[in-house]
Amino acid sequence: MNSGRKLRMVLLGAMLGTVAGASVGRAAEPPLKVGLLEDVSGDLAFMGMPKLHGSQLAVEEINKSGGILGRQIELIHLDPQGDNARYQEFGRRLLNRDKVDVLIGGITSASREALRPIVDRTSTPYFYTNQYEGGVCDASMISMGAVPEQQFSTLIPWMVEKFGKKVYVIAADYNFGQISAEWNRKIMKDLGGEVVGEEFIPLGVSQFAQTIQNIQKAKPDWLLTINVGAAQDSFFEQAAAANLNLPMGSSIKVMLGFEHKRFKPPALNNMHATANWFEEIDTPEATEFKKRWHAKFPDELYINDMGYNAYNALYMYKALVEKAKSIKLDDMRKVIATGDACIDAPEGKVCIDPKSQHTSHRMRLISVGPKHEVKVEKDYGTIQPYWLSEIGCDLTKKNDKDQYTPSHLPKKS
């Protein structure tokens, strides 16, 4: 059984793993090794595929324009198939055997938390490229995606003002869903709102008739949908069929899971989300970026924010290495500490916050219409990831290696 599995891994790796090093031989120095862990099979493959593509696109562009410090990049991609144990196994393999210079990837927060202790035992920088529930204060990790102060502190007050004070939450039952629900409780309390129901759904559950009825019983003004994965996304289709017809808000729908492309309209009608990237952004920089992406990957259904962030991660790595003139994490962190670790991304200029090593983002609130057309409702401009430094995380002084939440704050020393 085991050897069969291994054989399958090897075959898959050969098929999907990409070695972008055609011109390696010319370079005097050996290429920089970038380890990438993204699911391109299993339950989350439809989200992971754009992440692999974004990384491949960035590597190709950077290599064509001369590499990083004159060195080419070699991308080593492994597919953990959504299995946290495999994330750990492959993480160790990339860090210890392949000795990659930087590690990128992970989709779910569960996979990130599985990887982080392994990364912390090395001196290799790790880029996490998803939006997430926030709070990781760890010097080895650089977070490229948006966090609750960028997503929930904008979305929830807007939803309350527009639709009302009563919210019902359906959330995936793991750390992302649980901590996001905690954020919602805190923000709703500050706003004087009421959480009239909270339901945590085990991953893989696909039937929601009872949940839909529980929602109707609780009579909320709007829904916070932070359900995860293809199975749980069936909620939207089933809620639409039952004519539930409530406004919805989320930190992961549309720009991340592109449900508006995967479901037949009007299943996602009246969905709202705050995002630093969604494919419908039409600034000149974004249009240029989308053109390059679709030229390389013509079959891409949607360029989601994870794929976009994965693309940015490589450019951020390039910027850090070139400013530090070194590939050592300590030297790169000295650049971050200056507050000058910025790149010009397709969304605009984004910078890494020295204290938390999270990224500033230009946030927009988007809504989905009955024909699944996406509209920008509000532009918040650039929002800093301020929460961690407010509660006392300062990576320039101390490496906590912990994840904080509204109910788990650093001890006052």
The residue ranges that bind another protein (CB under 8 A) are: 1, 4, 8, 12, 15, 40-43, 45-46, 48-49, 173, 199-202, 204-207, 209-211, 213-214, 216-217, 219, 230-231, 233-234, 237-238, 240-245, 261-265, 267, 299, 301
Is the CB of 157 or the CB of 265 nearer to another protein?
265
Q: Is-contact 73 59, C-beta < 8 A?
A: yes
- What distance, in Å, lies between the first and last C-alpha atoms of the chain? 52
Contacts of residue 314, Cβ cutoff 8 Å, sequence gap at least 6: 34, 55, 58, 59, 62, 73, 104
Q: How far is the CB of 186 from another protein (least distance, A)?
A: 21
Is the CB of 180 or the CB of 356 nearer to another protein?
180
Q: How far is the CB of 26 from another protein (least distance, A)?
A: 33
Q: How far is the CB of 7 from another protein (least distance, A)?
A: 11
Is the CB of 209 or the CB of 409 nearer to another protein?
209
Q: How far is the CB of 10 from another protein (least distance, A)?
A: 13
* Alpha helices for 283-337 (secondary structure H): 284-296, 305-324, 329-337
Q: How far is the CB of 331 from another protein (least distance, A)?
A: 38
* Separation of alpha carbons 115 and 308, rounded Å: 22
Is the CB of 119 or the CB of 306 nearer to another protein?
306
CA gyration radius for the chain? 21
Is the CB of 79 or the CB of 138 nearer to another protein?
79
For 354, the token pair is: 């020295």
Is the CB of 41 or the CB of 122 nearer to another protein?
41
Report the phi/psi class of residue 69: left, alpha or beta, with left for phi > 0 and alpha for psi in -120 to 50: left
* Separation of alpha carbons 63 and 85, rounded Å: 32
Instruction: Determine if the peptide bond prior to 31 is cis (ω within 30°).
Output: no
Q: Is-contact 160 188, C-beta < 8 A?
A: yes
* Separation of alpha carbons 132 and 318, rounded Å: 23
Q: How far is the CB of 79 from another protein (least distance, A)?
A: 10
Among candidates 174, 176, 105, which has minimal Cα distance to 134? 176
Q: How far is the CB of 343 from another protein (least distance, A)?
A: 28
Is the CB of 16 or the CB of 24 nearer to another protein?
16
Q: How far is the CB of 245 from another protein (least distance, A)?
A: 8
- Using DSSP's 3-state secondary structure scheme, residue 145 falls into coil
Is the CB of 99 or the CB of 217 nearer to another protein?
217
